Structure 1
Amino acid sequence: MKKRNFLSCLLIIAIVLATISPTVLFAAEDIAQDEQVYDETYTEETEEYVEETPEAYDWTIETNELKKWPQGPRVEAEGATVMDLDTGAFLYSKNAEAKLYPASITKIMTMLVALEHISDSDLDTKVKASESALAPIDSDSSQIWLSVGEKITVRSALYAIMLASANDAANVIAEYVGGSMDNFVKMMNDKAKELGCVNTHFVNPHGLHNKKHYTCAHDMALIAQAAFQIPLFRKITKTVEYKIPKTKYMKEDRWLVNHQKMLYEDGEFTYKDCEGGKTGFTDEAWNTLVTYAKKDGKTLVCVELRVNGSWKTFHESAELLDYGFDKFRHEEVDAALNTTTLGQLAGICHFGTASVLDQKEAGIRAVEGKSTVSVTIPKKLKTDKLKRGFCDGNKIVYSYQGWEVGEETLKFNNPAFEVTKTEISDATLQGQTDTNGSETGTAGSTEAPEKDASGSKGFEEKVDEFMDNITFGFLNIWTSFNGWVDKHEMLSATVGMILILLMIPLIVIAYMRDKNDKLARKEREQDKEQRRKIEENIDSKSFQEIESEIRSELEKEERRKREAEEEEKRLREMEELIDRQKAKEAQETKETKETKEIKPTEKPEEEILPAEQPKTEDLKKEEED
């Protein structure tokens, strides 16, 4: 038995090593590639300054953590979200509930509260700008320069708030609607609570910085969604230009131009599907932006908070909106409402003496609502992966991996009929089954694990049953594996040893790469430290010293260039002199050869043979004799 268990464990260890080692190897390779990219980017002498990527660019995107959810783009915004206005589904979420400063996108809430309390007949009413409304406005902030006592129409003030981001107009409208600034701010905070905002608090209607004036991307999407339901708001936010007629205090017409540049027809930041929005900026909040867009039957809103650069907010918002339009679709799913009546819900029996009860009242359906729920889900996701739940006492909610994708509000026909959430969900939602037939239970239920009267199981009992199934499944797998090892002991040992031997080279390679990577990281840290010291040295010097050093370096560079040119000229002259000397020597050599060469017309003297030598006079006399 011990031998079999030993072989089983050995084989499992070998399999685990075979699985982990390539992962470690590839991870080391990825690190090495990253270091290589760093080395290529940061050379010892960098001639060109590269802007450092903000830390927020790499922050976690919550929706990217969902399995099979489309991966959203990385952005520099410290808080960002994309919401489907029709279903309320958040399609993209990055740090969406973090407390951040909104700046002038606050004015969307100002418009929402104001328009809920202003009728169409009030739009042409003239309101007077009071000293209390204009006094808190900084002279260098955005405004239309209203004067104390000046009157403009409510309509003009509303356009000034959204198009020109006029802080003075926002205060004037706040006093007109709320009676006082403080009361209007209270109305803003009450509205935020009503909408379900989780991290929002306002202290003014314009958005100028205050530490107690904050919101988050999630809450701004909810506020923007509510405001977009108002027709006049949709009209104003989409307007590019608007004229405020001259007044007693202003002798010229005031022309307002919308700061939301994605609306422009032929601009650098044009987004053809844009339906409006609101920009914002303060030194503390940086750039903020809310953008509405409509395409293919979907209306989305994108919120970006704390971005360093207005142009970045436009580009990133366009990218996020494209992501929402391209990766998701609308779908109608069954709300699964049955025909349960008030009588059935109360347990009224229609037989015997109970039949004398008012059958008409008891026969009314307990819950009314749409037969379907609109959801926004990834294009490749099937609806049977969604789960249905019941929350807030009157809502059917569909979700995917806990992420809400759509909801529908129910109506109870008899408000006086009090039931608990658990009773309602059990009676009206057919046991809270999800779309693939499995039971999900009631949201927030903490009942005991006993089955209730309808036969459904409690939450704790379901958990225990689930854990038991996992345990039994693991034991069955282990038993089957042990049985196989027992029947194939030799094969199991051989396979285990082969796997271990195969892993040894990979482990060694991974170790060596990891060692090299550590050295590379150490060198990188040293390089960073050296750069930091250089930057500190530069920061410690005055402008005149830096200018003097730069001038000195330039002079040295010029001197080096002149010396190099002179050296090059000298070498060229030497080469020319050598060439002339060689040519001269070649000419002299040629002439010498020509003088020594025998001419072809001259013949060499013929040798006189002894028999042909001239005869002397003595010989001639002898011959005569």
Structure 2
Amino acid sequence: MKYQIKLLISILTIGILFTGCARRSYDTSDQLVLGISENLPLYSTDSFGENHTVIPDGESLADDNYKDTKAAVLLNDTTQEALVVHNAHDKIYPASMTKLMTGLLVIEAIEDGSLSLDETITLSHTVTFQENNVGASDLTKGCKVTVKNLLYGLLIRSYNDCGVLLAERIAGSEDAFVEKMNERAYELGATNTHFVNCHGLHSDDHYTTAYDLYLIFSEFIKHDLAYLIDSLTSYDFTYTDANGETRSVTLDATNGYISGEFQFPEGYSLGSWKSGTTTAAGNCLILEFVKDDTGDKYIAVIAGAEDRSTLYNDMTMLINTAK
């Protein structure tokens, strides 16, 4: 089900968002938007996150419906009630859900003024990966690209090299940035999480839990810019190549609900999200949504689904469990 939204602000005035105003009020009428409801609860960055839904270690509130996933969690974040709990504290591989932490640190750097969306980065090297450069953009040495495009590419299309470039800009190296990721995870209470990279390509020592992802995601969705990016169905990723030519690639969101590949359940409105897939991690998705008739906000996590259809079937089942 496709949801229309009408929010009030211009992209040109996005800087206003970072003056401490916590309520979401921006106009996306000039963008391709889908899945974000104007009913999504607004909350203060000062008060949100002080209290989280608690899931005791070992608790299970699930049946055999989720046996084909490694973890499944559904939390009513308004009432702080756990509705579905399946392996919430078991170690899982986060795949590109890792980028929630990467994106959080980038957005925090933008908000504190140490980084600007408009800043242009010139690539001093081509970022490559062992797995056939999987999940990378077309950026190569000598290209010029803005922080905004890197951040949008990171979160909308899940470009791995965008994460590395942002990490190097903020911390000087990916390794130094990963240290910041682990420090921030610990601050948020995600003590069963350990990152070794900023993108989520597999490493045995790169892991988290469904509950830790909930804690990280809860912090991520406090930020208006994160919400704005997640509202887009597509984005024109632009850069200048090494020859000075302007290039543009239209990025489609990896979320199957937003792309229309899968139908979002009626009676609910989709908020922020992040997907992820690797062979070891399986198919993963975390998202927030609102039950339209009550206004309650929920967070749902599916990790380790055996295939994409299972992921979205199980996520739809989770959403329809909301009460």
**Residue aligning to 1:63:** 61
Partner deviation per Cα, 1:255-283 (whole Å, 9 max, x = no partner): 1100001124x543334622241211111
Distance 2:320 2:70 in 1: 20
The alignment partner of 1:291 has SS state of strand
Indicate conservation of the 8 Å contact 1:80/1:217, yes or no: yes
Aligned pairs (5 A) from 1:206-217: 206-217=199-210
Please state if 1:200 is matched with 2:198. no
Q: Describe the shift of the 1:305–1:74 C-alpha distance in structure 2 as closer, same or farther (beyond 3 A).
A: closer
Q: Describe the shift of the 1:111–1:101 C-alpha distance in structure 2 as closer, same or farther (beyond 3 A).
A: same
**Residue aligning to 1:613:** none
**Residue aligning to 1:268:** 262
Distance 1:140 1:233 in 2: 26
Q: Describe the shift of the 1:246–1:135 C-alpha distance in structure 2 as closer, same or farther (beyond 3 A).
A: closer
Indicate conservation of the 8 Å contact 2:102/2:181, yes or no: yes
Q: Describe the shift of the 1:148–1:90 C-alpha distance in structure 2 as closer, same or farther (beyond 3 A).
A: farther
Distance 2:303 2:61 in 1: 17
- Aligned match of 1:257 in 239, 252, 256? 252
Task: Point out where structure 1 has 5 or more consecutive residues left out of the alignment.
Answer: 1-59, 65-70, 327-625
Distance 1:85 1:180 in 2: 36
TM-superposed CA distance for 1:215, in Å, is 0.6
Q: Describe the shift of the 1:87–1:227 C-alpha distance in structure 2 as closer, same or farther (beyond 3 A).
A: farther
TM-superposed CA distance for 1:161, in Å, is 0.6
**Residue aligning to 2:82:** 90
- Aligned match of 2:284 in 285, 288, 309? 288
TM-superposed CA distance for 1:130, in Å, is 3.4
TM-superposed CA distance for 1:196, in Å, is 0.9
Structure 1 segments, 4+ long, off by >2 Å, are 71-75, 83-91, 128-131, 135-140, 248-252, 266-272
Indicate conservation of the 8 Å contact 1:263/1:271, yes or no: no
Aligned pairs (5 A) from 1:132-171: 134-136=127-129, 138-171=131-164
Partner deviation per Cα, 1:568-587 (whole Å, 9 max, x = no partner): xxxxxxxxxxxxxxxxxxxx
TM-superposed CA distance for 1:72, in Å, is 9.1
TM-superposed CA distance for 1:168, in Å, is 0.5
- Aligned match of 1:173 in 166, 173, 177? 166
**Residue aligning to 1:318:** 316
Indicate conservation of the 8 Å contact 2:197/2:206, yes or no: yes
TM-superposed CA distance for 1:218, in Å, is 0.6
Distance 1:139 1:100 in 2: 24
**Residue aligning to 1:123:** 117
Count of aligned pairs: 258
TM-superposed CA distance for 1:137, in Å, is 5.9
The alignment partner of 1:62 has SS state of coil
Partner deviation per Cα, 1:571-611 (whole Å, 9 max, x = no partner): xxxxxxxxxxxxxxxxxxxxxxxxxxxxxxxxxxxxxxxxx
Distance 2:130 2:149 in 1: 19
Query: In structure 1, what residue type is equivalent to 2:296?
Result: K
**Residue aligning to 2:275:** 279
Distance 1:143 1:269 in 2: 28
Indicate conservation of the 8 Å contact 1:263/1:276, yes or no: no
Please state if 1:191 is matched with 2:184. yes
TM-superposed CA distance for 1:149, in Å, is 2.4
Aligned pairs (5 A) from 1:443-462: none
TM-superposed CA distance for 1:143, in Å, is 1.7
The alignment partner of 1:292 has SS state of strand
Partner deviation per Cα, 1:132-179 (whole Å, 9 max, x = no partner): x71346434112121112121111111101111100001011111222
TM-superposed CA distance for 1:100, in Å, is 1.2
Distance 1:207 1:195 in 2: 19
TM-superposed CA distance for 1:89, in Å, is 4.0
Indicate conservation of the 8 Å contact 1:130/1:172, yes or no: no
Distance 1:206 1:231 in 2: 22
Query: In structure 2, what residue type is equivalent to 1:208?
Result: L
Identity of aligned residues (%): 29
The alignment partner of 2:132 has SS state of coil
**Residue aligning to 2:303:** 305
Distance 1:160 1:87 in 2: 34
Indicate conservation of the 8 Å contact 1:97/1:198, yes or no: no
Q: Describe the shift of the 1:319–1:144 C-alpha distance in structure 2 as closer, same or farther (beyond 3 A).
A: same
Query: In structure 2, what residue type is equivalent to 1:82?
Result: L
Q: CA RMSD in A?
A: 2.3
Indicate conservation of the 8 Å contact 1:137/1:168, yes or no: no
Indicate conservation of the 8 Å contact 1:128/1:152, yes or no: yes
Task: Give the TM-score normalised by structure 1.
Answer: 0.39
Partner deviation per Cα, 1:382-408 (whole Å, 9 max, x = no partner): xxxxxxxxxxxxxxxxxxxxxxxxxxx
Q: Describe the shift of the 1:72–1:124 C-alpha distance in structure 2 as closer, same or farther (beyond 3 A).
A: farther
The alignment partner of 1:191 has SS state of helix
Distance 2:118 2:109 in 1: 15
Asked which structure has the greater RCO (Cα within 8 Å, sep 6+), the reply is 2
Distance 1:72 1:118 in 2: 44
Aligned pairs (5 A) from 1:131-530: 131=125, 134-136=127-129, 138-249=131-242, 251-264=246-259, 266-271=260-265, 273-295=269-291, 296-324=294-322, 326=323
Q: Describe the shift of the 1:90–1:192 C-alpha distance in structure 2 as closer, same or farther (beyond 3 A).
A: farther
Q: Describe the shift of the 1:61–1:75 C-alpha distance in structure 2 as closer, same or farther (beyond 3 A).
A: farther
Query: In structure 2, what residue type is equivalent to 1:117?
Result: A
Query: In structure 1, what residue type is equivalent to 2:187?
Result: E
**Residue aligning to 1:577:** none
Query: In structure 2, what residue type is equivalent to 1:142?
Result: G
Q: Describe the shift of the 1:220–1:124 C-alpha distance in structure 2 as closer, same or farther (beyond 3 A).
A: same
Q: Which has the larger helix fraction?
A: 1
Distance 2:149 2:187 in 1: 28
Partner deviation per Cα, 1:230-265 (whole Å, 9 max, x = no partner): 11001112211000234234653111100001124x
Indicate conservation of the 8 Å contact 1:277/1:289, yes or no: yes
- Higher-Rg structure is 1
Task: Give the TM-score normalised by structure 2.
Answer: 0.74
Query: In structure 2, what residue type is equivalent to 1:253?
Result: S
Indicate conservation of the 8 Å contact 2:139/2:241, yes or no: no
Query: In structure 1, what residue type is equivalent to 2:250?
Result: W
TM-superposed CA distance for 1:290, in Å, is 1.2
Q: Describe the shift of the 1:180–1:109 C-alpha distance in structure 2 as closer, same or farther (beyond 3 A).
A: same
